[in-house]
Amino acid sequence: MSKIKFSDLPAFPKVKGQEVKPLTLNDVKNTGLSNTGGGINEGDVIEFENSVEEMTFVQRPIRPNSDRMMYMVGVLKNNKPAWLSLGVLTRRFNTESGAMPTCEFTKEMLTFNNNEERLKHLAGKKIKGTSRVDLTYYKFTEAGVRTEELETRPTILIDYVE
């Protein structure tokens, strides 16, 4: 039985060009890797549904009228219904030698072939935001175009709740 009802999940702010669309597991299965992190802060405990069949998914453009999407899953965050960006599971930061996982948890998540495998692994589990560190990321223009300039941003590291 599902712990989270879609109607209990928080509504997204209405922004023209950023409409939210419900999805199925098949829709998010192969959405690829994403650096759109969000939905977890230091100290937060995130609990996933017991099975992927019980999970709820939505997508939303990362910027108004963008064709790039943020994919989210309904979770319990500190025992309350919330949305978690799937991108936070595979978050990577940038170095001069390339992209690197932000922590051991994201390194493990990157070993799975797709979001379906990741979410099957996480079903029934809890993760937590353990600490905040400053990591480097590429800057993006207002239009969402990546520049070659790096900037430092705070990032939450993730681990399993034992």
Q: Is there a domain that residue 22 lies in?
A: yes
Backbone angles phi, psi at 122, to 5 degrees: -85, -15
Q: Is there a domain that residue 54 lies in?
A: yes
Q: Is there a domain that residue 1 lies in?
A: no
Q: Is there a domain that residue 26 lies in?
A: yes
pLDDT at 32: 61
Report the largest interatomic distance among the alpha carbons of the chain, rounded to a whole angstrom: 47
Q: Which residue reads 């379906």 in tokens?
A: 116
125 to 32, 45, 51, 75, 85: CA distances (angstroms): 22, 10, 10, 11, 16
pLDDT at 37: 62
Contact 135, 155 (CB under 8 A): yes
Provide the number of structural domains found in the chain.
1
- What are the tens digits of pLDDT across the range 35-82? 566 678 999 999 999 999 999 998 888 777 777 788 889 999 999 999
- What are the tens digits of pLDDT across the range 4-42? 877 888 887 677 778 888 888 888 887 765 656 667 899
Q: Is there a domain that residue 155 lies in?
A: yes
pLDDT at 33: 57
Q: Is there a domain that residue 98 lies in?
A: yes
- What are the tens digits of pLDDT across the range 90-132? 887 777 777 788 889 999 999 999 889 999 999 999 999 998 8
pLDDT at 80: 93
Average pLDDT taken over every residue of the chain? 84
pTM, two decimal places: 0.85
Type of residue at 35: N
Residue numbers of the domain that contains 25? 6-160
Return d(Cα 43, Cα 158) in angstroms, integer. Answer: 10
Q: Is there a domain that residue 36 lies in?
A: yes
Q: Is there a domain that residue 91 lies in?
A: yes
